[in-house]
Amino acid sequence: MGVKTFTFCDICNPHCQITTDRRDAPRDESLGRRSSDDCNWFEGFPEDSAEEGWIVTSKGKHVCPRCYLHHKEAVFSI
Instruction: Convert the pLDDT of each residue in 51-60 to its tens digit.
Output: 889 999 888 8
Question: Residue 59 gets which letter from DSSP?
Answer: T
| Helices of type H across the chain | 46-49, 65-70, 72-75
Residue 62 lies in a domain: yes
Residue 21 lies in a domain: yes
Residue 1 lies in a domain: no
Q: pTM value? A: 0.66
* pLDDT of 54: 92
Residue 45 lies in a domain: yes
Whether the predicted pLDDT of 17 surpasses 50: yes
Length of the chain: 78
Using one digit for the tens of pLDDT, what is the confidence trace for 23-55? 555 555 555 554 456 778 888 887 888 888 999
Residue 25 lies in a domain: yes
**What domain range is 64 assigned to?**
6-75
**Domains held by the chain: number:** 1
42 membership: H or E segment, kind and range:
strand 41-43
Whether the predicted pLDDT of 62 surpasses 70: yes
**Shortest CA distance to 48 belongs to which of 24, 74, 30?**
30
